Amino acid sequence: EVQLLESGGGLEQPGGSLRLSCVASGFTVSSYGMSWLRQAPGKGLEWVSAINGGRTYYADSVKGRFTISRDNSKNTVYLQMNSLRVEDTAKYFCAKEAGDHSYGTNWGQGALVTVSS
């Protein structure tokens, strides 16, 4: 059974950093594209970043501030978030992609990130 478990969320001040982790089970992250998405309180879904093979992709809103990476030995995907802004406040989900960055076949429960002074 495919499972994704996010962790690392919390309260951080503007300008600070957090690292989210997404531990996968039931499949090998190195064999699939993986995405991070977010959902601001009471709002819809926004794609944030993806990693597929050796390539990484970012939404314009986080480019230069967030970095996605993968540790195959731990079957884990990370999202390093630097220079955090109030508008980054959201629940962050990781998702396993179907082929070719098409859609998310499986999603985690999410990790809440709050950026506030």
Partner 1 sequence: DIQTTQSPSSLSASVGERVTITCRASENIGNSLAWYQQRPGKGPKLLVCAASSLESGVPSRFSGRGYGTEFSLTISSLQPDDLATYYCQQYKNGWTFGQGTKLEIK
Binding site for partner 1 (CB under 8 A): 4, 35, 37, 44-47, 93, 95, 98, 101-110
Q: How far apart, in whole angstroms, are the C-alpha atoms of residue 6 and residue 38?
A: 12
Give min distance, CB of 117 to partner 1, in A.
Answer: 27
> Taking the complex as a whole, how short is the minimal distance between the CB of residue 97 and partner 1, in angstroms?
9
d(C-alpha 21, C-alpha 38), whole Å: 14
Nearest to partner 1 of 46, 117 (CB atom):
46
Nearer to partner 1, 37 or 62 (CB): 37
Smallest gap from Cβ 101 to partner 1, in A, equals 7
Comparing CA positions, the residue from 18, 8, 9, 30 lying closest to residue 96 is 30
Phi–psi pair at 101, nearest 5 degrees: 50, 50
The amino acid at residue 6 is E
